[in-house]
Amino acid sequence: MKAITSYLIATYIIVLSICNVGIASAQQSTKKKTTTAQKAKLKKSQKGALIGVGAGAVIGGIIGKNNKNTAIGAIIGATVGGAAGAIIGNHMDKQAEKLRKDLGNTARVERVGEGVKLTFDNALLFDFGSSQLRSETQESLRNMAQTLKTDGQSSLLVEGHTDSVGSTEFNRALSEKRASAVSDFLISEGVPASRFKIVGQGESNPIASNSTETGRQQNRRVEMALYASDEMKKAAQNGAISLR
């Protein structure tokens, strides 16, 4: 299943690459007619418009189904593609910029497809073995909550991860408690609870080797996905949200 998923993600990236080649060619052919501002690279949102609704939604849907409980799966699984996808992507471009300012070094913020992926280092959020948020990071999360409240139509997946130290049961429970701690804090700051989905992955989805301390530290993390809700998709398709 992982091999199939990797292939599909690679296919999705190839589609984006082909679109980028087309964009570069078009820009070169009209070089003498464009202004300096028009020569700027297109944002992810504009590139997304070149992915057909069929290709984007079908590939995204398959990947999302195979990874329904992961941040990357939630984002790609919500892919719309076409003009609506460009509108959603433009909105996510702006959200990502705001979240980078809100969180600083507390989290890595990445634009993925038509969504935003955030990765929090557990060492910055929690003490070892604890699911209680450290006071030092609460201000960053409070700033993040203010940004999320201005964006009432995106869905949020929060998932906790651990290293392999300890029992499988303990790690899964701890990872869920940590994901809940982050979402509960954001909810307490006014972000509607209905927008959240919580998942405790435990040690099942490492991003590095658990055989070294450096690898184990990378695996101890909380990831969050921001992606379009059904309401946002409908609004983008109906023109209620526009590229501005």
pLDDT tens-digit series, residues 196-211: 999 999 999 999 999 9
| CATH architecture of the domain formed by 2-237 | 2-Layer Sandwich (3.30)
160 with 175: CB under 8 angstroms? Answer: yes
**d(C-alpha 197, C-alpha 71), whole Å:** 11
pLDDT digits (tens, 9 = 90+) for 229-242: 999 999 998 877 76
User: pTM for this one?
Assistant: 0.75
Nearest to 70 by CA among 134, 160, 8, 193: 160
User: 218 φ, ψ to 5°?
Assistant: -65, -35
Question: Could you state, in order of their start, the residue ranges of all structural domains in the chain?
Answer: 2-237
Say what the pLDDT of residue 238 is.
Answer: 87
Q: Over range 121-145, report the average pLDDT.
A: 93
Average pLDDT over residues 66-91: 85
Specify the 3-state DSSP secondary structure of 44: helix
**Nearest CA-CA partner of 224 in 144, 165, 149:** 144
Euclidean distance between CA atoms 175 and 140, whole angstroms: 21
With cut-offs at 50, 70 and 90, classify the pLDDT of residue 17: very low
